[in-house]
Homo-oligomer: A and B are copies of this chain.
């Protein structure tokens, strides 16, 4: 069964006409048993279905798309190169995929870089996909203008600086700083280090980085505590080094905030190498980290973030609304933060 001796992979596929002929019905009838858009007698339906399986018929996606004037495809833009694609990212993607699949859409992952607007323009303006979800959004994001010009419905997970007229879901980073600082301040911490996003992402206007830092700084000021921020490359090594810098520049540090997954791992390693114990000597609170990443280290990290699955779902629903022609309402959502206590923060023992 494994090999058909003549073996031409160019065997032409059965078409709707073939099925119609074999079943002795008209072509449109074949379509109607597929779509169910019209009542068909059981008898002919059976004949048609038999013919379809006999011929191994599958409708041609391109022809369908052309006739229906819609591709049934959605693209999810995720510039994979920047920082990979981890379990927490997949929370969003999986949720969005699930929701849109229920409406008959297939989701494609577009891994190209943010700057690759040429490719993007192609898929967006050629009608290859019906709608787009953007992830890893920057404060100034060239993709937005490209998609706008292509007149294709799109929604952001994240947001740009100028997002009043955009459709998006995002975390409410403005609340992250206050919530985190209050938590630590109430435990008595007054000297707090922060291992933040890598410099280039920050400079490129990476939203979570910029917005979270801003709210941390404001909250620290309000609470009267000191925060020392380091922009650290996304590597354990850099995190390790940053930890030493922090202790040098702020000897009384009793807590750190994290906004950089790999770097935090390195920082924890540095702490452990120095015999610094968590949470006895140092409290650790990490932003926007997945369950997996948070419990992967030793000790596990208490964290503050959003529900990626919920956000992904909502993004998909917004997009479906746009695809459905809802053009008037503003669809925007900021998700509130929630904190998960995994025991890595405790009272200050200054």
Q: Is A165 an interface residue (CB 8 A)?
A: yes
Q: Is A322 an interface residue (CB 8 A)?
A: yes
Mark contacts of A263-294 with chain B using CB atoms, 8 A cut-off: 1 yes-contact digit, 0 otherwise. Answer: 00110010011000000000000000000100
Contact B66 A63 (CB under 8 A): yes
Q: Which residues of chain B are near A11, meaning CB under 8 Å?
A: 151
State the Cβ distance, A294 to closest chain B Cβ, in Å. 11
* A127 in contact with B235 given A3-B165, A165-B3, A327-B7 (CB within 8 Å): no
Q: Complex formed: what's the CA distance from A110 to B262 in Å? A: 26
Contact B237 A127 (CB under 8 A): no
Q: Which residues of chain B are near A3, meaning CB under 8 Å?
A: 165
User: A109's contact among B111, B122, B162, by CB below 8 Å, is which?
Assistant: B111
Number of interface residues of A (CB under 8 A): 63
State the Cβ distance, A136 to closest chain B Cβ, in Å. 13
Stretch from A53-61, A175-183, A190-198, A215-223 forming part of the interface with B: A53-61
Mark contacts of A52-85 with chain B using CB atoms, 8 A cut-off: 1 yes-contact digit, 0 otherwise. Answer: 0000001111110110000101000000110011
Q: Is A258 an interface residue (CB 8 A)?
A: no
Contact A119 B94 (CB under 8 A): no
Q: Complex formed: what's the CA distance from A325 to B80 in Å? A: 32
Contact B81 A71 (CB under 8 A): no
Q: Complex formed: what's the CA distance from A82 to B125 in Å? A: 33
Stretch from A24-32, A295-303, A306-314 forming part of the interface with B: A295-303
Contact B297 A237 (CB under 8 A): yes
Q: Which residues of chain B are near A63, meaning CB under 8 Å?
A: 66
Mark contacts of A75-114 with chain B using CB atoms, 8 A cut-off: 1 yes-contact digit, 0 otherwise. Answer: 0000011001111001001100100000000101111000
Q: Which residues of chain B are near A265, meaning CB under 8 Å?
A: 236, 265
Q: Is A35 an interface residue (CB 8 A)?
A: no
Q: Which residues of chain B are near A125, meaning CB under 8 Å?
A: 13, 58
* A71 in contact with B80 given A123-B106, A151-B11 (CB within 8 Å): no
Q: Which residues of chain B are near A60, meaning CB under 8 Å?
A: 66, 126-127
Q: Is A152 an interface residue (CB 8 A)?
A: yes
Contact A61 B126 (CB under 8 A): yes
State the Cβ distance, A159 to closest chain B Cβ, in Å. 15
Contact A87 B84 (CB under 8 A): yes
Contact B237 A296 (CB under 8 A): yes
Contact B298 A237 (CB under 8 A): yes
Contact A84 B81 (CB under 8 A): no
Q: Complex formed: what's the CA distance from A80 to B108 in Å? A: 12
Q: Is A329 an interface residue (CB 8 A)?
A: no
The residue on B at minimum CB distance from A262 is B296
Q: Which residues of chain B are near A168, meaning CB under 8 Å?
A: none
The residue on B at minimum CB distance from A295 is B237
* A13 in contact with B236 given A85-B80, A265-B265 (CB within 8 Å): no
Q: Which residues of chain B are near A71, meaning CB under 8 Å?
A: 62
| 5 further A-B pairs in the complex, CB-CB below 8 A; given A11-B151, A62-B71 | A9-B153, A61-B123, A61-B127, A61-B128, A109-B109
